[in-house]
Structure formats: structure tokens, C-alpha cells
Structure 1
Amino acid sequence: MASHKKAKGAREEPSYAEQIKALSEISKAISSDHYLEDILRLIVTVTANVMGSKICSLWLLDEETKTLSLEATQSMSEEYLKERVLHLGEGVVGGVAKEKKPIRVYNVLEEPRFKEKELARKEVLSSLLSVPMVVRGKVIGVLNCYTSYPHHYTDTEEAVLTTVANQAAICIENTELMVKTKVIQEELETRKQVERAKGILMKELKLDEEEAFGRIRKKSMDTRRSMREVAEAIILAHEMGT
């Protein structure tokens, strides 16, 4: 590979120790009970540190709408934090997601595919490395790193960011799966409690199944409490003999 003179302010490639530390921090998040928003913020912060980036941003793909939305960045700039959406295949980010391949841009202001030139001028963004976040062969998002100076990203840097991105993708998918599992468990528990409360009303008030369910639903609407809360109150009253 041809060597390039480093611009003023440029840093060396991420060391092996830095890579391991970054992957370790993201791996810890996989088994944590943090909210997804906190995990995404951790990912961009760790990535920015290991890559020496001015701005690191994380975009997630919505499979249904085929759009990517900016979900996290370590930047404190109000301008950069504004909500943004790109279609699959649109711009550098959309292209990376569609092609499942990294893109290196030496000067974002001269890159035809780069959509946010005005923002880049305001934030003094120069070079970009954009990689897909892949888990089990499926792209779930894109991870971007920007420098404030002209920089030729190397194969090593691309490999490091790709490894971090894929580890982050596993973390995100696991977190979303845990959330879905928790929701399903709560729904099943609610159904179980409602069924039990329904049985109590049917036995004590001589109601049929539809009437008992109607009582619970009406109580829920009148008191603005959830069906589960009403059901649990009925069960508690029954157990206390009231």
C-alpha cells in the first residue's frame, strides 16, 4: 500500500490494545441490562476513541420502510444531532447499507454521493470511513467515522472499524431481542392474570366468560388502570376473602 504523509493533527492507527479494549467494552454491553439508547451511545463513544474520530455516528436500518435513521453520535453539536433519514441506497450511508461494503472518502466535500456537504462545512468534517453493521449476513445499520483533517484511511483502520461495527451489531440485535422477549413475557403474564381473574368473577358472580371479561375491561377503562392491574386487584381481593 502506498504511504501517505499524515496531516497535522492526525493520529497513528489504532493499536492492538486499543482494539481489544474497544471490543471488550462493547462485549460487556451485550450482557448488560442497559437501554438500547445507552448502548448505542456507548458504541459511538468507544468507536470515536479507538479511531481518533472527531465525530462517530451510528445509523440503523428500518427493514419495513427501507430507510436509515441517525440513532447515536458522541458529538455535542446541535446541528449534527438533528434528526435525519436516508433511503436505502441514498448517499454514502445508504450505499454502504445496500452494497454491504465499506466506503472510504478522502474529502467529503468532493464526494458526489455525500449528501450533507453544508453540515460538513459547518462541522469542519474532512474524511469519512463508513462501514456496514452486519450480523448473520444481514445489515442492520452503518457506522461512520469522520476526521477534521484530510486522511487516507488504511486497510487496518477499515478492518478495525468493521470488527467493532459487527460486534456492535450483535450487541444491538441481542438487546432488541431481549426487549421483544420481555414484552412477550409480560403479555403472557397479563393474559394469565386476566384469565385467572375472569375465572374468579365467573364463579363468584355467576357470569359467563364474555361478561366476566367485560367487567374487567370496563373497570380498566373507568379507573384508567391496565387490564393486568385490575386483574391482580381482583385476584388479591379473592385471596384476602373480601
Structure 2
Amino acid sequence: MTNDSTGQSQAAPPEKDYYKALHQAALTLSSSLELDEVLQSVVISITQAMQVKACGLRLLDPETGQMRLSAVYGLSNEYLAKGPVNVVNSPFDSEALLGSPVYIADVRVDPRFQYKDAARQEGLVSVLCVPLEVHGNAIGVMRVYTNSLTNFHEDDIQFLSVLASLAALAIENARLYESIRNSYHGVMNAFWGTQVSP
């Protein structure tokens, strides 16, 4: 318990249970091939475990340079409709895609953040962003947002980085599964097509 400025006792904030969240994420990853379901579960787990306002996962579209939203929890539809996130207009994401965590203390005023006015209206303040990497190549980013000035600690960064790695693994596995399935169907169609030809 702690006391506020009026002398009233306040309950201490609950402890962050990163081990439990990691365990839950690992169970989800191993029990489902539905990528959207897995990624949504991961961003919810991150938001709850880190006690932040929101979490979002964006994947890089190499052809357009856009960071496409793949999973999100805690952000309003109005904020999500603010416009596309382009790497060329977002030094914040560009920096993370180079392979290192990026922290912004106040996105309402930091020039690296693309939509400062929208962030202000949404009540966003601090943001931590880590890359999603597959075989050393960044394929997207994972962000967490707070509604107050927040100084993220090393365990926060490590936790988010581990979950981002698990999400990247799930994405890679889903892509491999889809590729194998398509190849199988292609082979079978060609085989049966040959068999029934006159």
C-alpha cells in the first residue's frame, strides 16, 4: 500500500506477471494454426501483462512500404482510421526495422511519430516499439502504448522482444504452412488433371 498526496492509502499496482503471460502465449502458439487468432491473443496478453493502454502489431509490405496492421488491442476505431503508416514517413518504425527497440517518451511532440495529433486525441503518451524478425530480417514491429509518461525498464523491453519473436515465428510458420498447402494442391490438381485427360 502507498499513500497519495492527501494521505489516503492506495493499493499498490499489481505486479507484472511476465512468466504467466509468456506461458499463455506459448500455449496459444502451439495449439492453433489460425494466425489471426494467435496474433490477437498475443497482443491482448501483452497489453494485460505490461499494464499498458494498448498493443499493436504491424507487418511491413515491401512493395508499398506500408506497415499493415495485423493485430491490435486497446485502440479506438477512430484512431485506427487515421491513415496509413508508411515507413518513409515514420522514422520511428524505420529505426525499429533496423533491428533495435525504439522508445518515445511523448509521441504527442516527438517528430519521429507520424500521427502526433491523432495520438493526442487518443490519449497516447509513451510508446515502445520492437522489431519482429525472421532469420535476422525485420518483417514488422510490435508496439505498446501508454496513456501517461512511462519509462520502460529492461525487463519490459525483454518481455516485449520475446513476445515479438514468438509472433514472428507464428507468422513464419503460417506462411510455410500456406506455401506447403498450396504446393500440395497444385501437385494434386496437376496429377488428377493429367489422369482424367483423354
TM-score by length of 1: 0.70
What is residue 118 of structure 2 aligned with on the other side? Answer: 119
Give the corresponding residue for 2:171: 172
Structure 1 unmatched runs, 5+:
1-7, 203-242
One-letter amino acid of the counterpart of residue 180, structure 1: S
TM-score by length of 2: 0.84
- CA change 1:64–1:32 in 2 (3 A) is farther
Map 1:189-208 to 2 at 5 A.
189-198=188-197, 202=198
Q: Distance in 2 between matches of 1:36 and 1:125?
A: 28
- Once the two structures are superposed, the pairs formed by residues 19-168 of structure 1 within 5 Å of their partners are 19-75=18-74, 77-82=76-81, 84-87=84-87, 90-97=90-97, 99-168=98-167
Per the TM alignment, residue 151 of structure 1 is displaced from its structure 2 partner at its CA by 0.8
Identity of aligned residues (%): 29
Shift, 1:70, TM fit: 1.8
Matched residue type, 2:61: D
Aligned length: 188
Amino acid across the alignment from 1:69: R
Question: Displacement of 1:45 after TM fit?
Answer: 0.9
Compare the two structures and name the one with the higher strand fraction: 2
Matches of 1:81 and 1:12 in 2, distance apart?
A: 29
SS in 2 for 1:56: strand
Q: Which whole-Å CA distance do the structure 1 matches of 2:12 and 2:84 have between them?
A: 29
| Aligned-partner Cα distance in 2 for 1:90–1:173 | 25
Relative to its length, the structure with more helix (as a share) is 1
Larger displacement relative to structure 2 (144-153 or 20-29): 20-29
Distance across 1 between alignment mates of 2:194 and 2:11: 66
Deviations 1:60-112 (A, max 9, x none): 01234443212210135111332623125733123211x21111111111211
* C-alpha deviation, 1:143, in angstroms: 0.3
Specify the SS of the correspondent of 2:79: coil
> Conserved in 1, the CA contact under 8 Å of 2:35 and 2:170?
no
Instruction: Give structure 2 stretches of 5+ with no counterpart.
Output: 1-9
Could you tell me whether the CA contact under 8 Å between 1:56 and 1:143 is conserved in 2?
Answer: yes
AA of the residue aligned to 1:172 = I
